[in-house]
Structure 1
Amino acid sequence: MTLDQLRPLASRLLRPFVSLSVRLGLTPDAISVLAFLLAVAAAGAFYVGDAVGYVAGAILVFLNGWLDLLDGAVARETDVDSEGGDLLDHVLDRYADVVILAGLAAGVGSWLLGFAAVTGVLLTSYLGTQIQAVGLGRQYGGLLGRADRLALVGIVGVLSAVIPVVGGFSLVAWLLGFFAVVGHLTALQRFWGAWGDLRGSA
């Protein structure tokens, strides 16, 4: 079960923030851009690589994920949801994923692990939207969705402030390796599920 399945609960919790955003005149696109800027700030904090940086990065990643939910909710509330806004949101989400993982990799000097993690994450996201493109609906499921990744980054960020090394490797390196393996497995899981649906409906 992935955290993406808890979107209905998150939607209820978002209600006060949606109302506040509407009163402040914040547009969905502005919220999407703000979420991306927080991701860039998180990457910078992770690059610093000390205890304060990891905790700050974890908080910023949490805020990025929260705003990523908020932009869509505000768009629906104000009836301005559009294909252009959806495109901007998805592009900024992918860049946010890349910069966050790059910040983590740079902080521990594990560029190879960073590359493997980024490709796993991007392929997971790509399969989700490509499945939608062939008419099966947007796919959020699998072993590891975006909400799960952000939650794990936040948890590891906090833990890295007090337990930086586990089993001879940094906790961040373990996380990047996990994202690399599980990210690609999630992409394949989504592919095979969609492939089976397409073959079944043929």
Structure 2
Amino acid sequence: MLNIFARASVSRVTDPIGAALVRAGLTPNGMTLLGTAGAVACALALFPNGMLLAGTFTVWGFTMLDLLDGAMARARGAGTPFGAVLDSTCDRLADGALFAAIAWWAFAVAGNHRAAAAALLCLVLGLVISYVKARAEASGLHGDGGLVERAERLILALVGTGLEGFGVPYAVEGSLWLLAVLSVVTLLQRMAAVARSAREAHP
């Protein structure tokens, strides 16, 4: 949802930065790989060791690089099919590492099995939501949109870990169960969108 309303405003900020990075000799695919490697490494190294604040801010910082690869692609004229596949693949890797690391923290550090279950549920639902869109597009249909897309998933998860890191009890558990419920709604919305698209394509 945020992608719809915030894309133009964000692009006004990121496009000049992306153009400067391209002039410096960097590539969109390189930026994608850098952001993913950093987010995965920080999530797996920090959250399971109970370093919630450090994990929150470093993972957030590296995921922000994901905004720049698109800006860099626009600065070069257009993206490439391989770049699009690489970007989506890296997004799934970063998301999986984040929620797996939060689940690890919940099990091993906090001893909160409810939060761990919510993290694993969010991980699976996030992958399925993304798969619905990809599979629909491969079939010539439309299956995007919904309440919770990648940006919202990251915001809710990292707000929870950040607040818990500042000492707010049950912030991770609350944010993850909220995300799980919204993810179920989003999955239903996307399946409904695919059904509508199929009816329109084959009346």
- Structure with more relative contact order (C-alpha pairs < 8 Å, separation 6 or more): 1
Distance in 1 between residues matched to 2:190 and 2:25, nearest whole Å: 38
1:126 aligns with: 131
Q: 1:138 to 1:86 in 2, by over 3 A?
A: farther
- Asked whether 1:160 is paired with 2:158, we answer no
- Asked whether 1:178 is paired with 2:178, we answer yes
Within 5 Å, give how 1:43-54 maps onto structure 2: 43-49=44-50, 53-54=51-52
Unaligned runs of 5+ in 2: 108-112
Structure 1 residue 80 displacement after superposition: 5.6
- The code of the aligned residue for 2:183 comes to G
Conserved? CA contact 2:15–2:72, under 8 Å: no
Structure 1 residue 126 displacement after superposition: 1.0
- Asked whether 1:114 is paired with 2:119, we answer yes
Structure 1 residue 189 displacement after superposition: 0.9
Within 5 Å, give how 1:14-163 maps onto structure 2: 14-40=14-40, 41-49=42-50, 53-79=51-77, 81-109=79-107, 110=113, 111-137=116-142, 139=144, 141-163=145-167
Structure 1 residue 32 displacement after superposition: 0.7
Percent identity among equivalent residues?
Answer: 32
Structure 2 length as normaliser, TM-score? Answer: 0.85
Structure 1 residue 91 displacement after superposition: 0.7
Distance in 1 between residues matched to 2:143 and 2:129, nearest whole Å: 12
Conserved? CA contact 1:65–1:147, under 8 Å: no
Structure 1 residue 43 displacement after superposition: 3.6
Distance in 1 between residues matched to 2:198 and 2:142, nearest whole Å: 12
Distance in 2 between residues matched to 1:197 and 1:151, nearest whole Å: 29
Kindly provide the CA deviation profile for residues 8-30 of structure 1, in whole angstroms up to 9, marking residues without a partner as x.
21111102321231132111111
Kindly provide the CA deviation profile for residues 31-53 of structure 1, in whole angstroms up to 9, marking residues without a partner as x.
1111111221134222222xxx2
What's the secondary structure of 2:148's corresponding residue? coil
- The code of the aligned residue for 1:58 comes to T
Structure 1 residue 71 displacement after superposition: 0.8
Conserved? CA contact 1:120–1:179, under 8 Å: no
- The code of the aligned residue for 2:2 comes to L
Conserved? CA contact 2:160–2:171, under 8 Å: yes
Distance in 1 between residues matched to 2:43 and 2:20, nearest whole Å: 24
Q: 1:157 to 1:112 in 2, by over 3 A?
A: closer
Conserved? CA contact 1:11–1:73, under 8 Å: yes
Q: 1:198 to 1:138 in 2, by over 3 A?
A: closer
What's the secondary structure of 2:56's corresponding residue? helix
RMSD (CA atoms): 1.9
Distance in 2 between residues matched to 1:55 and 1:74, nearest whole Å: 30
Alignment length (residue pairs): 193
- The code of the aligned residue for 1:144 comes to V
